[in-house]
Amino acid sequence: MTENILKQPVIGIDLGATNLRVGLVRGDKLEQLETCKLPEDKSVMSILNKMDEMIRSVDDGAELIGIGVPSVVDSEEGIVYDVQNIPGWEKVHLKDLLEEKTGKSVFLNNDANCFALGEWTFGNGRGKKNMIGLIIGTGFAGGIILDGKLYEGRNCGAGEFGMIPYKQSILEHYCSGQFFSRLVGIKGEEIYKKAINGDQASKKLFHKFGGHVAEAVKMVLYTYDPESIILGGSVSQTYPLFERGFEQELKSFGFPHSLTNVEITVSKTKHIAVLGAAALCANHINVKYTE
């Protein structure tokens, strides 16, 4: 297990489509957290000003900031492209802008990579050498830890499992909340409420959904053969409803013995998005980990 994970206080920021969360992380603890709705106009400067205000509120000597965003990211240059559901954020030099405003060093990445890095650093993935984190929410994507390092790919596009062709579409349409809206035209939240109240048709839909998620997990297993796969995101929390369908389909995996050596869990790490963003700082400055 790792201890004293961050050797200095850092700021973690989770920029979502509707909410902004900013926290101070020290060691392996989230010491302070501020949460707010995004400004109504959602402009770059309005959000930057709100970030700066919240950073000042939680700061206690931090020199580093990590940010997770739901978008395509150039992590080296610090540019975010086409942030989901935030109009006007087509190409934002977020690293430069926030460094200029705060005087702190800034690191950023997409939310799936932050999730994987956060679980590996603070959650179920601690102590693992090879791990995959899968976000099952409004979309479907993953973050990859290989040989103890976050693997991003040349264009920070590694782990975009949701874009893999599947049936007559792509995995994301079957392994995220889109499955319910596309198949029956009803939001997943409504079907979830019906299922937990005993509606059999809704339960069957979750059973089918679990089978599709298992197909995606099998693809990950065939490709990376990790020690651990961790499911996160809003829809993953409905796992008890799709667990049976998931486990049934997973049994068809071609190497049964390998299944006994992989740990598949659902994330229970509180505030994982903020913790994962903070972990970017450790990842980039090569903070030493104590085994």
Spatial distance between the Cα atoms of 132 and 224, rounded to a whole number of angstroms: 8
289 falls in which pLDDT band (50, 70, 90)? very low
Instruction: Check residue 287 and give its pLDDT.
Output: 43
Look at residue 68 in the predicted model and tell me its pLDDT: 96
In contact, 121 and 280? CB cutoff 8 Å = no
Give the confidence band of 183 by pLDDT, cuts at 50, 70, 90: confident
d(CA 120, CA 278): 12
Ordered DSSP codes for the chain: --BS-EEEEEEEEEE-SSEEEEEEEEETEEEEEEEEEPPTT--HHHHHHHHHHHHHHH-SS--EEEEEESSEEETTTTEEES-TT-TT-SEE-HHHHHHHHHSSEEEEEEHHHHHHHHHHHHSTTTT-SSEEEEEESSSEEEEEEETTEEE--TTS-TT-GGGSEETTEEGGGTSSTHHHHHHHSS-HHHHHHHHHTT-HHHHHHHHHHHHHHHHHHHHHHHHH--SEEEEESGGGGGHHHHHHHHHHHHTT-S-HHHHTT-EEEE---TTHHHHHHHHHHHHHHTPPPB-
C-alpha R_g of the chain: 19
Structure tokens given for 264: 């598949």
Whether 77 contacts 288, CB under 8 Å: no
99-147, pLDDT tens digit by residue?
Answer: 999 999 999 999 999 999 999 999 999 999 999 999 999 999 999 999 9
In this prediction the pTM is 0.93
In terms of residues, how long is the chain?
291
pLDDT reading at 2 higher than 70: no
Dump pLDDT digits (tens) for 191-235: 999 999 999 999 999 999 999 999 999 999 999 999 999 999 999
